[in-house]
Structure 1
Amino acid sequence: MELRHLRYFRAVAEELHFGRAAQRLLIAQPPLSQQIRQLEREVGADLLRRTTRSVELTEAGRAFLERTVRILDAVDDAVDQARRIGTGAEGRLVVGCVGSATYSLLPRLVRELRAALPAVDLRVRGEMLAPEQLAALHAKDIDLALMRPPVDDPALTAVSLRRDRLLVALPAGHRCADRDEVSLADLRDEDFISHAGGGRSRMSALLAALCADAGFSPRIRDEVDETSTLVTLVAGGLGVALVPEPTAALEIGGVTYRPLAAKAGATIELLAVYRSADASPLTAKVVDVLRATV
């Protein structure tokens, strides 16, 4: 028994006329009659009662039609879903996000994706440091990472989304809070609140490099994993911090943000990173939405 037998039977059962069913199926009537006879032999029961004037369903035929409709509809649904997934219109995507972009980009991205791809099951994981994101990509725990450079893994594809200006986060009332911009040299004697060091955070390495260019090594009071915790400690007056501009979207009271004074302006890139071997139409669509969003 093949699906075509079920489709032939359904057409005849719904039309109750071999001629109309043949026209609907775009086949000749004699082969259609032969296929229905073959189906009845395989089922082992008469499914149709034929007279010179009419075609009727037998009791067995009515029961068989009910199951046939469900089977064919399920097959059609499976084909449609596979086609939607194959074109990226449907599927599941897990996005990991670096702390600063979690607050500024992720809310807009979720709204834009729900509008553009409503059938996509989107899951997000925020406040992820770069090494955690890279490990999650390779473990297939996330499908797309929004992170800071560098990405030197040949198994991964990185797409540049934007460059974020660097800000200095100061406690409210700080001596530099009323300046148009702040240089790192002005903060030589300050305690710093830093993102996690030891290669775990791109921002920690960037802070060390920029301070070295300014002629000093930063005095780190606390190292934290979450950007929200970092800003909260600054608000508490425990130190100053270097952060990407989107961090200001947190709007935590007691913190003043000032642009970092640096040669040609200091920025840090935001990347969309995914496994090259697993690139799919859905990933491509989401990256397109990301580019439009940022």
Structure 2
Amino acid sequence: MELRHLRYFRAVAEELHFGRAAERLHIAQPPLSQQIRALEHELGVPLLTRSTRRVELTAAGAAYLDRAVAILDAVDDAADLAQRVAGGSAGRLVIGCVGSATYSLLPALVRALREALPGVDVDVRGEMLAPAQITALLAGEIDLALLRPPVEHPALQVETIRSDRLLVALPEDHPLAAATGVSIADLRGEDFVVHAGHGHSVMNNVVTTLCAGAGFVPRIRHEVEETSTLVTLVAAGLGVAVVPEPTAALGVTGVRYRPLSGDRPAAVDLLAAHATGAHSALVERVLDVLRRVARTQQRPDIG
């Protein structure tokens, strides 16, 4: 038995006429009749009763038709799904994201993906530090990473999505909270709240490098894994922090954000990375949406 036998039987059973069924199938009537008889012979039961005037389903034929239709529809659905997955309009995608972009870019991206690619199941993993995302990409645990540079691995393909200026997060009652801008040198002697160091955080290295350029070593009082925790500790008055601008989207009460001033604007890039060998039509479609969202997204208010 082949799928064509089921398609032949379905046409005859729905038309209840061999001539019309043959026209529908674009085949001659005699071969169609032969195929139906061969199917009945293989099953060992009559599926149709025939006379010179009419064709009718037997009880066995009616039951067989229900299952045959379900099988054929499932096969057609499977083919359609395979084509949509190959074309990037269906499937599943897991996105990892650094803390600051988790609260700004990621919500807008997920909404845009739901609208542009409704057949794609998107799973997000926020608050992932860059090294963890790289490991997850290489292990196939995530498909797309939104992270900070540097990303240097031959198995990963990387592009810059946008550049986020750096802000200083201050407790609202801090003397510098009313300033129009704050330089790194202004923070000499302050307690710092930073992301976990020891090679696990890009922003930790950024803060250390900025302070070294200003001639001092930051006095780090608290190291945290999540951006939300970092900002909460600043609001509690436990220190100051240097953060990418999208962090302001958190809107934590008790924090004031001021631009980091200097000879040139201080900023950190946001990258999109994926495994080179895993590049697919789906990843490319998601990247197209990501680029559009990143271009149109407005900067969060700071204050």
Superposed pair shares fold, TM > 0.5: yes
* Shift in Å, 1:223: 0.9
- In structure 2, what is the Cα distance between the partners aligned to 1:140 and 1:59? 51
The answer to whether 1:95 aligns with 2:95 is yes
Aligned-CA RMSD value: 1.1
Deviates more, 1:47-56 or 1:148-157: 47-56
Mapping of 1:1-294 within 5 angstroms? 1-294=1-294
Matched residue of 1:170: which SS?
A: strand
Q: How does the TM-score come out when normalised to structure 2?
A: 0.94
Runs of 4+ in 1 over 4 A off after TM superposition: none
Matched residue of 1:127: which SS?
A: coil
* Shift in Å, 1:173: 2.2
- In structure 1, what is the Cα distance between the partners aligned to 2:169 and 2:63? 72
Read off the aligned partner of 2:74 and give its amino acid letter: A
- In structure 2, what is the Cα distance between the partners aligned to 1:59 and 1:245? 71
% identical equivalent positions: 66
Structure 1 unmatched ranges of 5 or more: none
Matched residue of 2:263: which SS?
A: coil
Superposed CA deviations along residues 152-181 of structure 1, whole A, max 9, x for unmatched, are 011111121100000011111222222211
* Shift in Å, 1:124: 1.1
- In structure 1, what is the Cα distance between the partners aligned to 2:176 and 2:62? 84
Superposed CA deviations along residues 178-224 of structure 1, whole A, max 9, x for unmatched, are 22111101111111111111110000111111111111111111111
- In structure 2, what is the Cα distance between the partners aligned to 1:163 and 1:213? 21
- In structure 2, what is the Cα distance between the partners aligned to 1:238 and 1:61? 78
Structure 2 unmatched ranges of 5 or more: 295-303
Matched residue of 2:180: which SS?
A: coil
Superposed CA deviations along residues 106-157 of structure 1, whole A, max 9, x for unmatched, are 1111111111112211111111111111111122221111110111011111
* Shift in Å, 1:98: 0.3
Matched residue of 1:149: which SS?
A: coil
Read off the aligned partner of 1:125 and give its amino acid letter: R
- In structure 1, what is the Cα distance between the partners aligned to 2:66 and 2:184? 76
- In structure 1, what is the Cα distance between the partners aligned to 2:209 and 2:162? 21
Matched residue of 1:200: which SS?
A: coil
Superposed CA deviations along residues 254-289 of structure 1, whole A, max 9, x for unmatched, are 111111112320110111111111112111111111
Aligned residues: 294
